[in-house]
């Protein structure tokens, strides 16, 4: 923002004392002119740090090789990732409604929005210091003089009435101190806005992941209940076979262990489902309707493939990276404010109105009154306070540089990890599905051999446990695949423009 003072020359400016112009060097005068025109020459020139990361994310073609049905042209590239909206990312309609509810009611998101309002107001406070605070005042001063101090030898009471407009201690921003503080406050405001975007994107990913976790635990519970019912039927058959002496009591006891194992898992997953639902309600900010809860375990709800060789420049769109950069620019501006403390400061106090010894004559002719008090303050000795403040500002700027680079490197790691999981989890799923088929066949064969008296029931029990564990692991892998897509969505800062 340019200053409200725009004189053609310093000498023609009515509020700059001539003695000040004669006492400073020509260089200081040039700095003063620049500051009056709205620039801040004492702020270091900003240059975005270049973090030591690769130009592209490490990725492979494993997902393409393991899934021939996925075509490279359907992969998301840099342009589509930037323009993607979360509504395009989520396929399940119930999950879309749950996320929309969370964006309306989540308390963390509301707090983030209020933080933006607070930062905006703080920026307004910093900006207001560039302008004089004009106040209207009406006053009365009564003075009693005792007789022994009065020239007439009699006690007297005098009244002074005044009314007018004016401002006090208004600082002319000759060296950009206030401009630097305003710039810092503005960057803090932008930083807070980006922090709110981070909260929003994180909330979308958290709600989706919690929704998927609830769905997966419901599937675990359903599997345990199915196994429990199957084991009850198997146990009833074994009980009859025991009663007629076909199997031993040991076989019957081993058959019962499968029932109790499934019963324990049912209790465990019932508890997890309730906890998942409580966590989902907390994220949404209200109780989620039962009609919106998952019915069947969801398949991967969104991105199935990210194009290999995605540029790392995408990270600049991440809100936390932009937040760190705004913090860095703010720290850079604070150096200019700290440097300006070495130079003289000029403050003005003015008043224009009327004054009278009587209230009735306050606005009569000849009662006009004015006051003009310019003041120059030049720091001479402060015990090193100004120098220490400058060192603090410079140290904060260096800290902000390191913080920015760390945020970028962390963001790169998060995206690289998510891409690595995406590249390999499909192959894991294929192998796990094959394992489930193999263990199912093994269980079927072991049952047949046991019924024909070839193997003991222990072989049946081992095969059954292997099949049960393989099915649970398959559900866990599907959950990991789905959750990873939202992790990747969050790590890339996808949909930032639409969210903003």
CA distance 496 to 82: 7
Q: What is the mean pLDDT of residues 94-107?
A: 91
Residue 206 pLDDT greater than 80, yes or no:
yes
Residue 25 pLDDT greater than 70, yes or no:
no
Q: Which domain holds residue 371?
A: 132-172+345-378
Residue 310 pLDDT greater than 90, yes or no:
no
The CATH number for 354's domain is 2.20.200.10
Q: Give the DSSP letter of residue 169.
A: E
CA distance 379 to 53: 45
SS3 (DSSP) at 250: helix
Residue 3's pLDDT is: 36
State pLDDT tens for residues 359-368: 777 777 878 8
Nearest C-alpha neighbor of 197 from the set 500, 469, 405, 406: 500
Share of the chain above pLDDT 90, in %: 22
Q: What are phi and psi of 302, to 5 degrees?
A: -150, -125
Q: Where residue 485 falls among pLDDT bands split at 50, 70, 90? A: confident
CA distance 116 to 323: 13
Does residue 275 sit in the same domain as residue 228? yes
Does residue 31 sit in the same domain as residue 116? no
Q: Which residue has the higher pLDDT, 83 or 355?
A: 355
Residue 300 pLDDT greater than 90, yes or no:
no
Q: Which of 12-21, 46-55, 329-338, 434-443 has the lowest mean pLDDT?
A: 12-21
Which range, 31-45, 87-101, 148-162, 452-466, has the best average confidence (pLDDT)? 87-101
Does residue 146 sit in the same domain as residue 244? no
Domains held by the chain: number: 3
Q: Where residue 236 falls among pLDDT bands split at 50, 70, 90? A: confident
Q: For residue 338, what are its two tokens?
A: 């700290």
Q: What is the mean pLDDT of residues 265-294?
A: 93
Q: For residue 3, what are its two tokens?
A: 């200053």
Does the reported pTM lie above 0.85? no
CB 155, CB 16: distance < 8 Å: no
CB 319, CB 493: distance < 8 Å: yes
Q: Where residue 345 falls among pLDDT bands split at 50, 70, 90? A: confident
Residue 38 pLDDT greater than 50, yes or no:
no
DSSP assignments along 11-48, one per residue: TT-TTS-HHHHHHS-HHHHHHHHHHHTT--TTSPPP--
Does residue 109 sit in the same domain as residue 206? yes
State pLDDT tens for residues 48-73: 888 778 777 775 544 444 444 444 44
Does residue 262 sit in the same domain as residue 402? yes
Residue 306 pLDDT greater than 70, yes or no:
no
The helix-helix angle for 177-243 and 319-340 (nearest 10°) equals 150
CB 254, CB 461: distance < 8 Å: yes
**Biggest CA pair distance of the chain:** 136
Q: Where residue 171 falls among pLDDT bands split at 50, 70, 90? A: confident
Neighbours of 55 (CB within 10 A): 8
The CATH number for 268's domain is 1.20.1600.10
CB 426, CB 66: distance < 8 Å: yes
Q: Which residues of 401-415 are buried (b: 16+ CB within 10 A; e: fewer)?
A: beebbebbeebbebb
- Quote the mean pLDDT of the chain: 79
Nearest C-alpha neighbor of 387 from the set 332, 342, 346: 342
CA distance 446 to 462: 9
Residue 27's pLDDT is: 44
Does residue 365 sit in the same domain as residue 278? no
Residue 305's pLDDT is: 54
Q: For residue 116, what are its two tokens?
A: 């933006």
Residue 7's pLDDT is: 35
Residue 22 pLDDT greater than 50, yes or no:
no
CB 167, CB 350: distance < 8 Å: yes
Residue 2's pLDDT is: 37
Nearest C-alpha neighbor of 42 from the set 325, 331, 401, 334: 334
Alpha helices in 378-456 (DSSP H): 385-451
Does residue 298 sit in the same domain as residue 364? no
| Element (DSSP H or E) covering residue 168 | strand 156-172
Q: Which residue has the higher pLDDT, 126 or 30?
A: 126
Q: For residue 323, what are its two tokens?
A: 């937040």
Q: Which of 136-150, 202-216, 240-254, 294-308 has the lowest mean pLDDT?
A: 294-308
Does residue 389 sit in the same domain as residue 374? no
CA distance 101 to 448: 52
CA distance 139 to 141: 7
Name residues whose C-beta falls within 8 Å of residue 215's C-beta, 6 or more positions apart in sequence: 294, 296, 297, 298, 479
Q: Where residue 500 falls among pLDDT bands split at 50, 70, 90? A: very low
- Using a 10 angstrom Cβ sphere, with 0-12 exposed, 13-18 middle and 19 or more buried, the burial of residue 177 is buried
Measured at the CA of 419, the angle between CA 418 and CA 425, to 5 degrees, comes to: 85
Residue 421's pLDDT is: 85
Residue 436's pLDDT is: 92
Q: Give the DSSP letter of residue 293.
A: S
Residue 211's pLDDT is: 93
Does residue 152 sit in the same domain as residue 267? no
Length of the chain, in residues: 500
Residue 111 pLDDT greater than 60, yes or no:
yes
- Token look-up 């904060």 returns 396
CB 125, CB 302: distance < 8 Å: no
Share of the chain above pLDDT 70, in %: 82
Q: Which of 64-73, 124-133, 256-265 has the lowest mean pLDDT?
A: 64-73
Does residue 494 sit in the same domain as residue 437? yes
Nearest C-alpha neighbor of 493 from the set 403, 425, 412, 401: 412
Residue 112 pLDDT greater than 90, yes or no:
no
Q: Where residue 387 falls among pLDDT bands split at 50, 70, 90? A: very high
Q: Which of 31-45, 166-180, 243-257, 441-455 has the lowest mean pLDDT?
A: 31-45
Does residue 125 sit in the same domain as residue 136? no
Residue 391's pLDDT is: 94
Alpha helices in 40-92 (DSSP H): 62-66, 78-83, 86-89
CB 467, CB 436: distance < 8 Å: yes
Does residue 49 sit in the same domain as residue 122? yes
Q: For residue 444, what are its two tokens?
A: 């079927």
Residue 220's pLDDT is: 92
């Amino acid at each position: 923002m340019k200053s409200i003072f725009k004189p053609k020359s310093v000498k023609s400016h009515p509020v700059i004392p001539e003695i000040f112009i004669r006492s400073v060097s020509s260089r200081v005068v040039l700095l003063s002119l620049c500051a009056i025109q709205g620039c801040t020459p004492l702020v270091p020139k900003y240059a975005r740090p270049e973090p030591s990361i690769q130009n592209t994310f490490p990725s492979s073609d494993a997902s393409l090789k393991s899934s021939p049905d996925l075509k490279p042209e359907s992969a998301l590239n840099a342009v589509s990732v930037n323009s993607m909206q979360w509504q395009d990312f989520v396929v399940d309609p119930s999950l879309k409604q749950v996320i929309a509810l969370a964006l309306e009611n989540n308390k963390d998101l509301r707090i983030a929005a209020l933080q933006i309002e607070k930062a905006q107001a703080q920026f307004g406070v910093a900006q207001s210091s560039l302008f004089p605070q004009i106040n209207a005042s009406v006053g009365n001063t009564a003075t009693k003089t005792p007789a022994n101090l009065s020239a007439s030898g009699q006690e007297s009471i005098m009244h002074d009435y005044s009314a007018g407009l004016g401002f006090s201690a208004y600082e002319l921003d000759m060296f950009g101190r206030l401009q630097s503080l305003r710039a810092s406050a503005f960057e803090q405001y932008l930083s807070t806005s980006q922090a709110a975007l981070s909260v929003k994107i994180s909330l979308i990913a958290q709600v989706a992941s919690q929704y998927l976790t609830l769905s997966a635990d419901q599937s675990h519970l359903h599997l345990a209940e199915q196994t429990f019912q199957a084991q009850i039927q198997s146990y009833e058959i074994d009980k009859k076979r025991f009663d007629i002496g076909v199997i031993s009591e040991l076989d019957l006891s081993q058959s019962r262990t499968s029932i109790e194992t499934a019963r324990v898992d049912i209790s465990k997953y019932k508890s997890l489902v309730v906890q998942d639902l409580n966590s989902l309600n907390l994220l949404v900010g209200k109780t989620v309707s039962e009609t919106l809860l998952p019915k069947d375990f969801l398949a991967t709800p969104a991105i199935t493939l990210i194009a290999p060789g995605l540029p790392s420049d995408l990270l600049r769109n991440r809100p936390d990276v932009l937040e760190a950069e705004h913090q860095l620019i703010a720290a850079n501006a604070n150096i200019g404010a700290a440097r300006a403390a070495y130079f003289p400061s000029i403050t003005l106090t003015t008043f224009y109105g009327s004054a009278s010894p009587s209230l009735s004559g306050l606005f009569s002719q000849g009662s006009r009154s004015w006051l003009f008090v310019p003041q120059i303050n030049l720091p001479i000795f402060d015990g090193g306070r100004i120098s220490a403040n400058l060192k603090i500002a410079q140290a904060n700027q260096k800290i902000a540089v390191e913080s920015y680079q760390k945020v970028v490197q962390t963001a790169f790691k998060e995206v690289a990890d998510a891409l690595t999981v995406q590249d390999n989890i499909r192959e894991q799923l294929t192998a796990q599905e094959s394992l489930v088929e193999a263990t199912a066949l093994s269980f079927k064969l072991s049952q047949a051999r046991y019924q024909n008296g070839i193997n003991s029931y222990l072989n049946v029990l081992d095969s059954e446990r292997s099949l049960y564990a393989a099915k649970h692991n398959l559900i866990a892998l599907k959950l990991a695949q789905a959750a990873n897509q939202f992790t990747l969505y969050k790590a890339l800062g996808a949909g930032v423009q639409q969210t903003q």
